[in-house]
Structures are given as C-alpha cells and as structure tokens.
Structure 1
Amino acid sequence: MEKETVRQNSAKAWMLAARPKTLSGAAVPVMIGLALAYSDAAGSGLAFDWTAAALCFLFAMIMQIDANFINDYFDFIKGTDDTEKRLGPRRACAQGWVKPRSMRYAIALTTIAACVAGLPLIFYGGVEMILVGAVCVVFCFLYTTYLSYVGLGDVLVLVFFGLVPVCITYYIQLHTCTWEVLAASVSCGLVIDCLLLVNNYRDRDTDREAGKNTLVVRLGAHCGRMLYLSSGLTACLLGAVSAFAGHPLAFAMPLLTYLPLHVLTYRRIVRINKGKALNACLGETARNILVYGIAVSAGVLII
C-alpha cells in the first residue's frame, strides 16, 4: 500500500502534498500572457522585462502549491477525503503522510512566500499589484473552504487561471490590455477548467454524499460531459480573435494539436463513465492543457 511506503513528514510526503503535476495549470496562463506581451513588445519596439516574467512564474507556482496545501488540509478537516470512498489520488493529511499541524505551518509559509515573490511586481505593474495579490490569496482560501461546495469552483478557475494571470502578466509588461489578450485569457480559463470538470465528474457521487454541490453535481453527469467537450471547443474557437489580431498560427496550432487530444479524452471519459479509471483522463487532461499552452504560445511567437 502507498500509505506504508511514505514516511510521515518526509520529502516524499511533501512532494506528494505539493502535487507537482498540477503546476502546468499554473504555468500555462503565465506562459500565454508572456508570449503575447513579448510579441507585442517586439512589434512596438518596447522592452520586455525578463525579471518581471520570472517573478510572475514564481508567484503562480508558489500560489498553486499553496492552493494544493489548503485543499489537502481543509478537505481533510471537512471529511471530504474519505480514504475508503476516495476515487482520486490520495491526499497527504488523509493518509497520515503529513500531520494537520504541519500542514497548517506549510500553508502559512507558502502564503508568505507567495506574497514575498509577488511583492516586487509593484515596481513593474504599480501598487495595484498589492490588491491583485491579496485577492488571489483570499480566494485561494475561499475556494476550498466554501466556493467549491456551492458550485462556484468553475467560475474561480475561469477568473484565477484565465483572466487574472494572463491579463495581469501582460499588463505588467506593457501596462495595457487588448481584446486578443482578453480572449486568450478566457480561452485559457476554459481549457484549465476541464481539469476541474473531469475531477468533479469522477467524484460526483461522493461529492453529492458529502454535500459538495459542484457544477457537475448540480447539472448531472451528461451535462458535465458536455461542459467538458464544449469548454475545449469554445477555447479553440475563441482563438479566432488572435487570427484577426495578426497571429493566425495561435488559432490554427491549438486546432491541430490540442483539440484532437481533447476530443479523444472526452470519448474516453464517456466510455469509462465512473470509477478510479477516470484518473487516467485526469492525467490526459493535464497533458492536453500543457499542449494547448505550448501551441498558443508558439503560435503567437512564430512570425
């Protein structure tokens, strides 16, 4: 059993708690925002700041780890991570790999670390970056403690894995925002929300029992599947804005690379329908997100 091979509070335990596979979801929005900023800066003869770019990546990564720790701890406290019924990957507190008290300290440390990493961004984006950072931290806690239980998790993904990171990353570089950036941010949020949708689709029965009324629980399995498929398709169609803005490859490349993979994963979700086997679809969706991010970024940068 995996529980017997992980020593409590060991490096392996903390690595599992940090969930490194989820970091692609944090990196992709920043990647897309930077690609758009670099392209527009080059086209306008403006400077692109690599230090600010690195800080954006660092803040996003630490915040993602912080969110994972918060999710691990509060789902354990609420009893959502029932070790007998859980279908998804095992969680550190529920398995006893990390003591709840240690996790509380880790949450405090990663929250502080994210704030320290993000604070220098005020020199690039202005004092309003303090408000942006504060909102990110507050909603990081609200997601697990309340909002995900009332079906608002998908909205938060659209905002904090789409609109905020893509637009703010671009704004920090060029101090403006364009319709192409806005469309790209919505597309990015839709693609990343597919990860939450397949996760909630897998857990729909246990979530219902636990009183966690996700969008899939509220709308039903069929609608959950349709949302998954349509989110990826809509994201690709929104790429037409980039084509009109002078980046046709940013529209074409996701259609040729990401969309076929997304449809194949959707068909696998339909075929499997229930159980732990859906974890494979979770892994495929994470891969698809990375493919999407690379395809859009490359499409923007290739002239």
Structure 2
Amino acid sequence: MTRTQFYRIVEIRTKIISMTTFLCGSVYALYDTGLWSWTTFIMMGLAVLFVDMGTTGFNSYYDYISGTDNQTYNLERDKVLVHENVSPNTALAISLTLFALAGILGLVLASRTSWWLIVAGGACMVVGYTYTGGPFPISRTPFGEVFAGGFLGTVLFTLSYFVLTKTVNIGAVAASIPLTLLIAKILSVNNTCDRIADEIAGRKTMVILLGADKAKFLLMGELAASYAWAFLLIFLNILPWHTGPLLVIAAVFSVKRFQAMLRRGFSLETKGPSMNDVSQLFLASGASLCIGCLVAFIIR
C-alpha cells in the first residue's frame, strides 16, 4: 500500500470538515471564557483527526464488502479498494489502529479534564463504527444526516469547548447548530449524488425516501436554516457581532455555490464538483465564525 492509497482510504481531504468544527469549538471557547491550553488543543485535534480517519476507513471497508462500492456505480478515484485492488483487510487494520491511537489520547485528555470524556468519546467512536458497520448501518437509514451532523457538529463542537473549559453551557450548544446543519447538508448532497447506486444497494436514505425533486428542498432548507440560526445567535449575543459582516459575505457566496450545484444537477458524474462546492460553502461559514470570535476576543 502506498501513501497515496492510505490517504484515499481515509479520504484525508475530507477531514477538513471535522477539523473546522473542532477549531470553531476551540475558538468559541476562547472567546466565551478566555481559557486556552496548547497541549490540550493539540491532543484533542489529533484525537478528532484519528477518529474521523478511522471512521472513513471503516466506511471504505464496509461499503466495499457490502457491494455498495463497485466499479459499475462508483467512479471516485478515492475508492482504491474498488479501482486499485487494495485489500479490504488493510482498510480495516488502518481503522482499528487509528481508533486505538484516538483512545489513548482520549484517556490522557480525560485525566486532564473529566472521566466523563471517556463516555462521550466512546459514544463518538461507536457511532463512527456503526455508521457503516455492524448489522444495521446508520448510513443505510434516513437518520444518517442526523447522526453525522449531530456528532460531527454539535457533539464535536461542545467536546472541543469542554476540554478547554471543563464545562459546557447552552450558548456553546446553540453556537454549534449552524455547522451541524451544514454538515447534514454535505451528507445530503453526497446522498443525492449517490441516490441511484444507494437505492440499488438497498439503502433507505432520507434522499431516497423523499425522492430526487423533494430532496432539493431539503438541501435548500438546511442551508437557509443554518444562516438564519447564525444571525439569530448574533441577535441574542451568543455569537459576537463581528461575525455578522463575515456571515453576510459567506451567505452570498454559499447561495451562488448552491445555485451552481442546482444547475449542474446531482449524479455520480457531478458528485466531485458538487462535493467541492458544498465543502467550500461549509468552510466559508466556519471561517466566518472562527475569525469573528477571534477578532472579538482580541479587541475586547
């Protein structure tokens, strides 16, 4: 196995999603409480990265052995188990190793904060595994967006806040919702592009249940709700007003990117450009939150 194949098994380019949420939760903690620890920040960042990489490795493994990923319906170069004959056992071993490393870091972080962190971290790892693994994979159900958005969004954001502050408040939970909705949107776009292949594989995703036309309204709703909630948080003084101008720019950019996706359509052939657009949309929102909170902390 080459280094490039390893990166593709764990889809390293997609880790920007979890790392952005982690960074936003950490910066919000700094803005909200003034507390910071570089050691804790780095350990938490590595733990998040390892869990996310391991989860994607499990996804690669189980999608291959279940037949969801095959040469007929999957055109993505990242699927090296399909297109480059990499052993699925290699993907499984990589995932188990990454989860073990994350577990070790989790124990160290728990000793510095609270042993309840083990419970929360363990729950994240269980959801990461069962997303595509086990007898009833979450990704095959209509609840994929809820679990992916919830754990990669709200849970990760509040855990990132907690390890730095040793507490969680309703403001931190509320501040995580815009990112949670956009993460759900990323998965919805992915599932909309994969709709035909997923249906053949027997999946019952939200997109399949809604149908192609109604799924577009789901995508619109997730985007609109994310920005509406973010501006409400500014009005309630949960987010600093400094994020407002940045969010306006991000919202305009996001609408244009989404319009481009609608014009292009959602299919296996357009999946690459669509996932690139929705990822940029998420990063624009995350950057607005991070920069706004950081500026507010510095000039306070």
Q: Same fold (TM over 0.5)?
A: yes
In structure 2, distance between residues paired with 1:103 and 1:278: 23
1:229–1:263 CA contact under 8 A, matched in 2: no
Q: Name 1:282's counterpart in structure 2.
A: 275
Note the C-alpha offset of 1:148.
0.8
Are 2:115 and 1:122 equivalent residues in the alignment?
Answer: no
| One of 84, 99, 107 as aligned partner of 1:96 | 84
The amino acid across from 1:99 in the alignment is S
Distance 2:31 2:179 in 1: 18
Tell me by how many angstroms 1:189 deviates: 0.9
Counterpart pick for 2:144 among 150, 153, 176:
153
Secondary structure of the equivalent of 1:248? coil
Helix, strand or coil for the counterpart of 2:176? helix
Larger mean CA deviation between 279-288 and 264-273 belongs to 264-273
Q: CA RMSD in A?
A: 1.6
Equivalent-residue separation in structure 1 for 2:212 and 2:258 (angstroms): 13
* Stretch deviating more after TM superposition (70-79 or 146-155): 146-155
Distance 1:55 1:72, change over 3 A: same
Q: Is structure 2 residue 166 aligned with structure 1 residue 175?
A: yes
Structure 1 residue 89 displacement after superposition: 4.4
1:165 aligns with 2:121: no
User: 1:96 deviation in Å?
Assistant: 3.3
| Counterpart position of 1:139 | 127
SS of the residue aligned with 2:246?
A: helix
- Residue of structure 1 in register with 2:205 after alignment: 214
Q: Does 1:61 align with 2:52?
A: no
Deviations 1:118-137 (A, max 9, x none): 22111333000110111111
SS in 1 for 2:180: helix
> Which residue in 2 is equivalent to 1:233?
224
Q: Using the TM superposition, name which of 89-98 and 232-241 deviates more.
A: 89-98
Alpha-carbon deviations, 1:40-89, whole Å to 9, x = none? 223xxxx4212111122111111111011101000000000021122444
How big is the shift at 1:161?
1.1
With normalisation by structure 1, the TM-score equals: 0.90
Does the 8 Å CA contact 1:55/1:117 hold for their aligned counterparts?
A: yes
- Do residues 15 (structure 1) and 3 (structure 2) align? no
Match of 1:27 in 2: 19
**2 CA distance for matches of 1:169 and 1:196?**
22
Q: Distance in 2 between matches of 1:90 and 1:21?
A: 10
Which deviates more, 196-205 or 231-240?
231-240
* Structure 1 residues not aligned, in runs of 5+: 1-8
Q: TM-score, length-normalised on structure 2?
A: 0.91
Aligned positions of 1:222-301 closer than 5 A? 222-239=213-230, 240-245=232-237, 247-257=240-250, 259-275=251-267, 276-301=269-294
CA deviations over 1:159-195 (Å, ceiling 9, x no partner): 2111111111112222322333112212111111221
Does the Cα contact within 8 Å between 1:124 and 1:173 map onto a contact in 2?
no
Q: Runs ≥4 in structure 1, deviation > 6 angstroms?
A: none
1:250 & 1:121 partners in 2: Cα distance? 30
Measure, in 2, the Cα distance between the counterparts of 1:227 and 1:88.
25
The equivalent position to 1:72 in structure 2, one of 27, 43, 60, is 60
The alpha carbon displacement at 1:115 in A equals 0.9
Give the partner amino acid of 1:120.
V
Name 1:205's counterpart in structure 2.
196
Distance in 1, Cα, partners of 2:76 & 2:90: 23
Aligned length: 290
Gaps of 5+ in 2: none
